[in-house]
Amino acid sequence: MKILSVENIRDLDAYTIEHEPISSFDLMERASKAFVQWFVSKVTSDKSILVVAGTGNNGGDGLAVARMLHDKKYQVKVVIIGNKDSGSDDFKTNLKRLSTQVFEFDSEAKLPKADIIIDAIFGSGLSRPAEGKYAILIEQINESGAEVASIDMPSGLFADRTTEGKSIVRANATVSFQLPKLAFMLPETYEYVGNWHTVDIGLSQKFISEQETSNYYITASFVKSLIKQTGKFDHKGMNGNALIVGGSLGKIGAAVLAAKAALRSGVGLLTVQVPRVGNSILQVAAPEAMTILDDQENLISSITSDGYNAIAIGPGLGTDSTTVKALGNFLTDYQKPLVLDADALNILSDNRVLMELIPENSILTPHPKEFKRLLGESWQNDFERLDKQKELSKKLKSIIILKGAHSSISLPNGEVYFNSTGNEGMAKGGSGDVLTGMLVSILGQGYSSRDAAILGVFLHGSAGDFAKNQLGSIAMKSGDLINFIPEAYAHIC
Ligand SMILES: NC(=O)C1=CN([C@@H]2O[C@H](COP(=O)(O)OP(=O)(O)OC[C@H]3O[C@@H](n4cnc5c(N)ncnc54)[C@H](OP(=O)(O)O)[C@@H]3O)[C@@H](O)[C@H]2O)[C@@H](O)CC1
Ligand SMILES: [K+]
């Protein structure tokens, strides 16, 4: 699913109005109806509602929503902020059609009490940070103790650039029209956006398909379209031959998690290269995998490269100088895309000349701290972090999976795919090792690096969602993710 800029969204509205054709008022009716449909599925009619409306089209939506909820027997009050006489045409028409109580905002008075506030002050038309009486109103909403549902955007938050200042509505939920906004993907906006949803309001699919964008939101149907069909005459050689290099004394578990995840993700043959200390642990924990033993007892001192379709390096690897040397020697000769995680990334960050040796189209999977080390610098806000991620992907000609809520997958061509699966229960040690195993397994089956990254990240998150459903986010552990990989596959195959 594309994530469009505010300019594109405005043009999309205009195009739909002209070409469907539909009047702007009727489009607003459709949008408001979609919001109301979502709202009534969540909120019972015994709750008191306060709609807080600006005088643009977001405010127009708010007034239409107030009318529709009133018709459905909800108790609704409306507070308007701004000059009604200079409001948008559709705002004015909706004001005329409204028969509920309407108050004008008075910054000296208290807001009427309500269980739920519907926030319709500003949407995508925000042109500057909220100040003055708008900031006072937003603070009153945030302090009210009511649950807040925002229409299209939390008022005061910019959709596709960073918002200076803190006068932003803190919504429990945001219902966005048709497409998600870039701001929804970034951790720093979560406290304002809350849980977000999109509702279909029939904006032109033709126009959307013609728009150029570098930002995408990964949907299940998109992931489904990437899956290769398997056949009756497949044999293990056709499903690839992958190698995982990792483990050191005390960290063999990381290699085990990666190996088990790889085996559950469809690879035909799997070999794990571990220090000698890891041999029996691996052979018992993952008997389907073969092992290659390093000469060293407790760490990796050389890396083999012969005959594999895909290689992952990193889980539990450690950063001993012998291992650093081994990685350097390996990278000097090896040309095919790799999966690089955990200590492999830490070694690269500490030995930056090695970064130039990363093969094109490799997949790097840092969490934010590892990303910062890899980048060698910090960022002011999440939008800047995203730009830096794109730049680093281009520079390294590799894919970077920046892990977190809505993990972002940046490609060397500048595109970024944001993940739609996963949950807070996955923020535990070992979760990244599971992802690495899944990625190398999928890459080994002949998927391109891009498709492997998208598939792996989506399925990993989806396995996490199934695990949370069954076990709860507190009790689930990273090893549990592996048990739910089959359900994640079943969901999209
Ligand atoms: N178009 C369509 O067909 C559809 C649109 N839809 C809905 O329309 C919304 C977009 O509507 P919109 O473009 O009218 O912008 P909106 O967010 O209401 O605000 C604009 C007003 O706020 C003002 N303003 C801005 N910043 C300010 C500030 N800091 N402090 C004070 N004032 C400020 C700004 O003033 P100006 O910048 O011109 O000075 C202008 O007066 C969209 O989010 C969705 O909800 C849906 O119904 C689907 C169909
Ligand atoms: K809003």
Closest to 318 (Cα-Cα) out of 298, 294, 291, 293: 298
Instruction: Say what the pTM is.
Output: 0.96
- Distance in angstroms (rounded) separating the CA atoms of residues 298 and 364: 25
Nearest CA to ligand 1 atom 13: 125
The vertex-394 CA angle with 392 and 398, nearest 5°, equals 85
| Cis status of the peptide bond prior to 187, with omega within 30 of 0 | no
pLDDT band at 230 (very low <50, low <70, confident <90, very high): confident
What is the atom index within ligand 1 of the atom nearest the CA of 88? 14
pLDDT digits over 284-337, tens only?
999 999 999 999 999 999 998 888 999 999 999 999 999 999 999 999 999 999
Quote the percentage of the chain above a pLDDT of 90.
Answer: 96
Average pLDDT over every residue of 210-234: 91
Nearest CA to ligand 1 atom 5: 57
- Distance in angstroms (rounded) separating the CA atoms of residues 129 and 368: 28
pLDDT at 310: 97
pLDDT at 196: 97
pLDDT above 80 (res 270):
yes
Best residue among 105, 124, 158, 179 to mutate for probing ligand 1, ranked by most atoms within 8 Å of CB: 124
Binding residues: 57-61, 119, 123-129, 134, 152, 155, 254, 316, 367, 403-407, 432-433
Binding residues for K(+): 58, 119, 155
Instruction: Quote the mean pLDDT of the chain.
Output: 96
Q: Which residue reads 């989506």 in tokens? A: 458
Nearest CA to ligand 1 atom 25: 126
pLDDT band at 279 (very low <50, low <70, confident <90, very high): very high
Binding residues for AMP: 403-407, 432
pLDDT digits over 357-408, tens only?
999 999 999 999 999 999 999 999 999 999 999 999 999 999 999 999 999 9
pLDDT at 108: 93
What structural domains and CATH numbers belong to the chain? 6-213 (3.40.50.10260), 222-492 (3.40.1190.20)
Give the range among 27-41, 200-214, 237-251, 385-399 with minimum mean pLDDT: 237-251
Nearest CA to ligand 1 atom 37: 127
Task: Please report the beta strands in 81-223, taking only residues with DSSP state E, as ranges in sequence order.
Answer: 101-104, 116-120, 147-151, 173-177, 195-199, 215-217
Please give all residues whose beta carbon lies within 6 A of any atom in ligand 1, as ranges.
Answer: 13, 17, 24, 27-28, 31, 54, 56-59, 61, 88, 122-130, 134, 151-153, 177
Nearest CA to ligand 1 atom 41: 56
Q: Which helix (H) or strand (E) holds 272?
A: strand 269-274
109 CA distance to ligand 2 centroid (A)?
Answer: 22
384 CA distance to ligand 1 centroid (A)?
Answer: 25
97 CA distance to ligand 1 centroid (A)?
Answer: 20
pLDDT digits over 428-469, tens only?
999 999 999 999 999 999 999 999 999 999 999 999 999 999
11 CA distance to ligand 1 centroid (A)?
Answer: 14
Average pLDDT over every residue of 152-164: 96
pLDDT band at 236 (very low <50, low <70, confident <90, very high): low
179 CA distance to ligand 1 centroid (A)?
Answer: 17
Q: Which helix (H) or strand (E) holds 33?
A: helix 24-42
